[in-house]
Amino acid sequence: MYKNLDLELMRKIFEIPSPTGYTHHVIEFLEKKVQELGYSTSKNKKGNLIVDVKGESDYTIGLSAHVDTLGLMVKSIDGSGNLRFTRLGGLILPTVDGEYCSVVTREGATYTGTILSTSPSVHVYKDAQSASRTEDNMYIRLDEEVSSKADTLKLGISSGDIVYLDPKFTITSSNFVKTRFLDDKASVFILMQLLIDLKKDNLVPKHNLKIVFTTYEEVGHGCSNIPTVDELLAVDMGCIGNDLSATESVVSICAKDSSGPYDYLMTSKLIKLAKENDIKYAVDIYPFYSSDASAALRAGADIKAALIGAGIHASHGMERTHLSGILETLKLIKLYINAGE
């Protein structure tokens, strides 16, 4: 059922670290892969990768997914040589307590470490269980013999260095994909698979496509400078929980998020296509959310915009989806880019 998905490519996309502000490696990887497939690409100054696909009509649909993920940045080095950090994007901090991480210096050296609470031992600290996990009482323990700030500085580590987390990419025998950063690398993979499938089957879509891999979504301005398109379909994680109806097995169609309602006609077309083609889907309102489409609209782009994506459980924490959610999203995109007005 999932044999047509390039799961090795999926693994590679997840294993290239790309916290927001440190996305050039994954963009280079995607650029090379897309050029090998025979597409023409361009990059804007802030590093978004744009892939052009010629269609039959004059109408151009933009499709976006963001390569940037959550991460950390070194804020300071304390007197014991440990690292204090600031978040890149909105990681749920209690979920990173105990996580392995890597620090990349500006010179390109990499050091491993572990993210811990400042009360990390139950045998020593009364509040080891109860201490809140916040930036103020967490730190990174380096796997280096350091005991002073000078020791750590000598390694070449300094404020502003990027810290990335091990995503723990796993596909289970039951076809769940559990890994950090499904938001939004699941969608990056979906758009890459779309490009692969178009070439493989020699398909020319009805409309021109501009596929944009954005680099600053997690900090709110990923698609703020969208190339000229008539409409933008943002492909980003679908929310799960509370009174929402999506699951990890479906494509979630977002009717409204914190930035307001999405385009009525585009959203209605997506729902109609899903319904008529037996796609597993849900329509939901995302309570605390905005997307690359919101960023484009806020920046003044005169476009129509909609938002869909695979259902992602426990977002910005230990995320999980199912290959079914990924496949249903891909199927709906394929229908959409070939549908009439």
The catalytic site residues sit at 217
Minimum CB distance to Zn ion, residue 184 (Å): 4
Q: Write each residue from 135 to 174 as x if it is in contact with Zn ion (CB under 5 A), else as -, in one continuous string.
A: ----------------------------------------
CB closer to Zn ion out of 186 and 303: 186
CB nearer Zn ion, residue 96 or residue 234: 234
Binds Zn ion by CB under 5 A, chosen from 99, 161, 184, 284: 184
Q: Which is nearer to Zn ion, 184 or 328 (CB)?
A: 184
Shortest approach of Zn ion to residue 291 CB, angstroms?
7
236 binds Zn ion (CB under 5 A): yes
Q: Which is nearer to Zn ion, 236 or 328 (CB)?
A: 236
Q: Which is nearer to Zn ion, 219 or 283 (CB)?
A: 219
The whole-angstrom separation of Cα 98 and Cα 78 is 19
How many residues in the shown chain lie near Zn ion by CB under 5 A?
3
The yes or no reply on residue 231 touching Zn ion (CB under 5 A) is no
Minimum CB distance to Zn ion, residue 234 (Å)? 9
Which string of x and - marks every residue 267-296 that binds Zn ion (by CB under 5 A)?
------------------------------
Which of these segments, 52-60, 132-140, 153-161, 228-236, binds Zn ion (CB under 5 A)?
228-236
- Summarize as ranges the residues that interact with Zn ion (CB under 5 A): 183-184, 236
